[in-house]
A and B are shown apart, each in its own frame.
Chain A
Amino acid sequence: MTAAQESRTRDIEANPYRPWPARITSITDLTDKEKLFELRIIDEDVREAFQFESGQFIELSIFGVGEAPVSISSAPSKQGFIELCIREAGDVTGAMHRKKCGDVVGLRGPYGRGFPFTEMKGHDVLLVAGGLGIAPLKSLINHIHDDRHEFGKVTILYGAKSPAEVLFRYQFDMWQHRDDFDLILTVDQPDETWTGETGLVTRLFDKIDVDPAITYGAICGPPVMYKYVIEEMRKKDMDVDRIYVSFERRMKCGIGKCGHCGVGHQYTCIDGPVFNYWEAMNLQGAI
């Protein structure tokens, strides 16, 4: 490292609450409520220092409005850019939805513990997402995609409320035609155009084969979903410590100080947001 880089690293670490300016380089409308933003950190040193794992999150910062935790949707293998899938739900996400391409927002991170990507290598992976839960899982799916030869069978089960609410439709349409991803989509409320599965995502477990000896599970969805999906995975004899879940809590500071994201005896922001099921069942009130 040069002296200038070292001093910049010190700057970055000097104040962990300081967000770094990032430019919105692309905005894609996904549904009525969700948009996919691609961001590029403006400072080159900060950009290069920003290395993350699938499952980690950032604090999105819009000065004058506030901060909100957002999971990263792109894969770590995509360098230099960060994708965030954002639902318009609160003040910060609402303000983000009004931003245009080229606007500058702030971000800090990456924070938390992601999915055990390296440990998962050499194994089958079963990914189960509900609704917006696909956002952090997409990072993992893309990462597996980029190192596809290192994994066994990859199965993705994704449930959405209606066809209009299916996120990343374009990507799934592409994958549905591939032999190396088993992708099953289901919706609760089909319309006349829907040709896929209907009902809750748990119903899809009848349609898949799982070899529990070599399979890792990854789950993300609305809070009510976890219990039922885990039940299905346990029926397939998957090990409790190979089932990974990602939790959404109020990660206000992201760095284990503000206390808002407490779950059981842990903090979601630094101890999670990804936990294995053994850890999660030891967290009171988690599932």
Chain B
Amino acid sequence: MFFRVIDKANLPDLVKGLTTEYEVVAPVAKGDTFVFAPVTDPGDIRLDYDTTLLPPKKYFFPPEETLMRFRVADNEVLDDDVFAAPRVLFGLHPCDINALQLMDNVFKGRYEDPYYLRRREQTLLIGVSCTPSDTCFCNVWETNEVHWGFDVFLTDLGDRYFASCRTVKGAEILDRFVANRQVDDTDTADFQRVVHAFRDAFDSTVDTTQLPVLLDAKFDSPIWDEFGDRCLSCGACSMVCPTCYCFNVEDRLEPDQKSGVRVRTWDSCQFKEFAAVAHGQNFRESRASRVKYRYYHKQWGYLSKFERVLCVGCGRCARACPAGINPVNVIAALQTGEVR
């Protein structure tokens, strides 16, 4: 990898430079929380954010998007063009960069999803180091570190950033837009000190031993009824999840009924009708079965295909859940049989 050091005072130059060629999206304050939003003034960026309400997935897989426009009379597609403007996501935490790689596995594969992938190709990712909040458990999945999938990653060394450039494009934007210098031994030593301190700052411990086996062997465990009783089926956990990709598709007609758009929207396996088929059979009618399925898929279904769990420990679902369901507690309950 290619490394550079940037003085903190010069970082706004990088953002300003990027805004001349890209839409720059970064964490900004909203009320007492943070969101990813387009910025033009580097002063609005809050790199000290803990987490954002919604993950950056919305820039690749929007809550709602048009797949195609159609004409009813002859059932023809009028256009299915994918529009993707050049964009930089600035200030992503390691969990969110890891999450995008998990999403990539789904949207790539034998059937490539042109909507997601076109935006992915058009977007640069600039990561930034973080400090764990009280809901973070990325250390459990080792997604507190990120080794690829970004263009530049900035590790905060106090007065300067240790910039790791993973791609040619990443190295290029640094050289073009911001004063930087070569890394020396002091920088590397400071980098080591910072990343060790980061690793030691986590106090989340979750026993993830043999989760896939436990999910099967304890499939009928009463813990699912307890979590099911609490769950409100609101789907908030899926909406705020950086790795939840399920969607629904619906057709919307123009007022003249002659043409319309086919739209896809975020969906959640927690919604009652999610697994229902046309004849009225619902394969996951109970809330308990739906809560269980969410964990079953994330910790086993996805793993069986891609050898990683579909969770990065960002803790957004724990913050968003109105019923106080926290994945850390769900996994602990699966291990111990006791719901906390």
Q: Chain A: residues with CB nearer than 8 A to chain B?
A: 13-19, 21, 61-68, 87, 89-90, 93, 104-106, 223, 248-250, 252-253, 255-266, 270, 284-285
A1 to B183, CA, bound (A): 53
User: Which residues on the A side are within 8 Å of B67 (C-beta)?
Assistant: 17
User: Which residues on the A side are within 8 Å of B247 (C-beta)?
Assistant: 253, 257-259
Residue of B nearest to A90 (CB): B278
Contact present for B246 and A65 (CB under 8 Å): no
Apart from A64-B72, A265-B303, what 16 extra A-B contacts exist at CB < 8 Å? Answer: A13-B112, A15-B68, A18-B68, A223-B281, A249-B283, A250-B276, A250-B277, A253-B249, A255-B111, A256-B106, A256-B111, A257-B107, A262-B301, A266-B301, A285-B219, A285-B283
User: Which residues on the B side are within 8 Å of A18 (C-beta)?
Assistant: 68, 77, 80
User: Which residues on the B side are within 8 Å of A87 (C-beta)?
Assistant: 279
5 A-B pairs with least C-beta separation:
A259-B246, A90-B278, A255-B111, A63-B70, A265-B301
- Expressed in whole angstroms, the minimum distance between the Cβ of B280 and any Cβ of chain A is 8
User: Which residues on the B side are within 8 Å of A265 (C-beta)?
Assistant: 212, 296-297, 300-301, 303-304
Asked if B262 lies at the interface with its beta carbon under 8 angstroms from chain A, I say yes
User: Which residues on the B side are within 8 Å of A68 (C-beta)?
Assistant: 278
A92 to B219, CA, bound (A): 35
Contact present for A262 and B277 (CB under 8 Å): no
User: Which residues on the A side are within 8 Å of B246 (C-beta)?
Assistant: 258-260
User: Which residues on the A side are within 8 Å of B13 (C-beta)?
Assistant: none
Provide a sorted-by-A list of 9 A–B residue pairs whose CB atoms are within 8 angstroms.
A15-B80, A15-B114, A17-B80, A17-B262, A19-B75, A66-B251, A93-B278, A258-B267, A259-B269
- Expressed in whole angstroms, the minimum distance between the Cβ of B276 and any Cβ of chain A is 7
User: Which residues on the A side are within 8 Å of B274 (C-beta)?
Assistant: 250, 260
Asked if B190 lies at the interface with its beta carbon under 8 angstroms from chain A, I say no
- Residue A104 contacts which of B74, B80, B257, B296 (CB distance < 8 angstroms)? B74
A257 to B61, CA, bound (A): 12
User: Which residues on the A side are within 8 Å of B98 (C-beta)?
Assistant: none
A19 to B279, CA, bound (A): 24
Asked if B250 lies at the interface with its beta carbon under 8 angstroms from chain A, I say yes
Contact present for A262 and B111 (CB under 8 Å): no
Contact present for B111 and A16 (CB under 8 Å): yes
Residue of A nearest to B275 (CB): A250
Asked if B178 lies at the interface with its beta carbon under 8 angstroms from chain A, I say no
Contact present for B77 and A257 (CB under 8 Å): no
With A15-B80, A223-B281 already in contact, the answer to whether A260 and B219 are too (CB < 8 A) is no
Q: Chain B: residues with CB nearer than 8 A to chain A?
A: 67-68, 70-72, 74-77, 80, 106-107, 109-114, 212, 215-216, 219, 245-251, 253, 257, 260, 262, 267, 269, 274-279, 281, 283-284, 289, 293, 296-297, 300-301, 303-304
Residue of A nearest to B77 (CB): A18
Contact present for A66 and B250 (CB under 8 Å): yes
Contact present for B111 and A257 (CB under 8 Å): yes
- Expressed in whole angstroms, the minimum distance between the Cβ of A79 and any Cβ of chain B is 23
A223 to B293, CA, bound (A): 19
User: Which residues on the A side are within 8 Å of B300 (C-beta)?
Assistant: 265
Q: Is the interface of B mostly helix, strand, loop or mixed?
A: mixed
- Expressed in whole angstroms, the minimum distance between the Cβ of B277 and any Cβ of chain A is 5
A269 to B267, CA, bound (A): 18
Contact present for A64 and B278 (CB under 8 Å): no
Contact present for B260 and A64 (CB under 8 Å): yes
Interface centre among B68, B72, B219, B249, by most A CB within 10 Å? B249
User: Which residues on the B side are within 8 Å of A249 (C-beta)?
Assistant: 275, 277, 283
User: Which residues on the B side are within 8 Å of A16 (C-beta)?
Assistant: 111-113
Interface centre among A15, A248, A249, A255, by most B CB within 10 Å? A15
User: Which residues on the A side are within 8 Å of B248 (C-beta)?
Assistant: 252, 258, 260
Contact present for B109 and A256 (CB under 8 Å): yes
Contact present for A257 and B296 (CB under 8 Å): no
A239 to B323, CA, bound (A): 46
A250 to B107, CA, bound (A): 19
User: Which residues on the A side are within 8 Å of B269 (C-beta)?
Assistant: 259, 262
User: Which residues on the B side are within 8 Å of A14 (C-beta)?
Assistant: 114
User: Which residues on the A side are within 8 Å of B289 (C-beta)?
Assistant: 285
- Expressed in whole angstroms, the minimum distance between the Cβ of A99 and any Cβ of chain B is 10
Residue of A nearest to B260 (CB): A64
Residue of A nearest to B212 (CB): A265
Contact present for A62 and B75 (CB under 8 Å): yes
- Expressed in whole angstroms, the minimum distance between the Cβ of A222 and any Cβ of chain B is 8
A284 to B221, CA, bound (A): 13
With A14-B114, A21-B74, A106-B75 already in contact, the answer to whether A258 and B278 are too (CB < 8 A) is no
User: Which residues on the A side are within 8 Å of B76 (C-beta)?
Assistant: 21
A262 to B110, CA, bound (A): 18
- Residue B245 contacts which of A21, A105, A257 (CB distance < 8 angstroms)? A257
- Expressed in whole angstroms, the minimum distance between the Cβ of B256 and any Cβ of chain A is 11
Contact present for A262 and B72 (CB under 8 Å): no
Residue of B nearest to A251 (CB): B277
User: Which residues on the A side are within 8 Å of B113 (C-beta)?
Assistant: 16-17, 257
- Expressed in whole angstroms, the minimum distance between the Cβ of B62 and any Cβ of chain A is 15
User: Which residues on the B side are within 8 Å of A260 (C-beta)?
Assistant: 246, 248, 267, 274-275
Residue of A nearest to B238 (CB): A259
Residue of A nearest to B244 (CB): A259
User: Which residues on the A side are within 8 Å of B283 (C-beta)?
Assistant: 249-250, 263, 285
A250 to B297, CA, bound (A): 16
Interface centre among B77, B245, B276, by most A CB within 10 Å? B77
- Residue B251 contacts which of A63, A252, A262 (CB distance < 8 angstroms)? A63
A262 to B290, CA, bound (A): 11
A76 to B277, CA, bound (A): 26
Interface centre among B262, B300, B303, B304, by most A CB within 10 Å? B262
With A14-B114, A259-B269 already in contact, the answer to whether A284 and B216 are too (CB < 8 A) is yes
